[in-house]
Amino acid sequence: MYYSATENAFFAGEFRDEYERAGTWPADAFEVSEEVFAEFSSQPPSGYRREPDSIGQPSWVEIPEPPARSVAELHVAIDRSAGVARERFVSPGYLVEQEYKRAEEAARNFAAAGYPSSDVPSAVSSWATAKGWTNQEAADDIIATAELWYGAIDQIREIRLTGKAAVQTAEEDQREATAQQYIHQLHAMAPA
């Protein structure tokens, strides 16, 4: 049996001629004992994986812990958890989008009334408290965020509908490529 550090794999010597004819025999392959093969071709110990060591021999290397999640990733995890919690109490049509819509409506009414300090909607005051802003700053931010999202929603709808129409009219052998163009556009969209 042979081992290649660059491939991190074992190769049966009896098939070497076939590998070489195919041009796939690794240049760094070297013969290993049956004991080495048995040990490093078996299931790795828990928390380890096979990797070549500093001289190219197979070895068990501890799998590193995944990196810590960023603040943004943690915010997403919280948002998802909140969505699951909302689903337990309300119908799917009233999830976070409905919460944002209600906050926007409250902020627009508050702004239209001249930002009265005696009648601050809770959707506005809770955002002001969370951000350390005045109620007016919070209301203006809620409204500005809503406008940004409406623009994004319109753009997503345009890409989605245009893409579906393009796929519908594309030649059969071009449908996948056509769809991918629009999928890539949607994947590239992100808030500023």
CA distance 120 to 38: 72
Among candidate residues 31, 28, 33, 36, the one with its CA nearest the CA of residue 5: 28
Question: What pLDDT is stored for residue 76 in this prediction?
Answer: 56
pLDDT tens digit sequence for 62-97:
999 877 555 566 755 576 555 455 444 444 555 677
User: Please, are residues 117 and 107 in contact by the beta-carbon 8 Å criterion?
Assistant: no
Query: What pTM was estimated for this model as a whole?
Result: 0.49
Question: Mean pLDDT across the chain, nearest whole number?
Answer: 85
- Cα→Cα distances 49→53, 100, 156, Å: 12, 46, 42
Question: What pLDDT is stored for residue 65 in this prediction?
Answer: 84
DSSP state of 191: -
Question: What pLDDT is stored for residue 89 in this prediction?
Answer: 43
When comparing pLDDT for 31 and 162, which is higher?
31
Question: What pLDDT is stored for residue 148 in this prediction?
Answer: 84
Question: What pLDDT is stored for residue 26 in this prediction?
Answer: 96
When comparing pLDDT for 2 and 90, which is higher?
2
Mean pLDDT of 141-162: 85
pLDDT at 141 over 50: yes
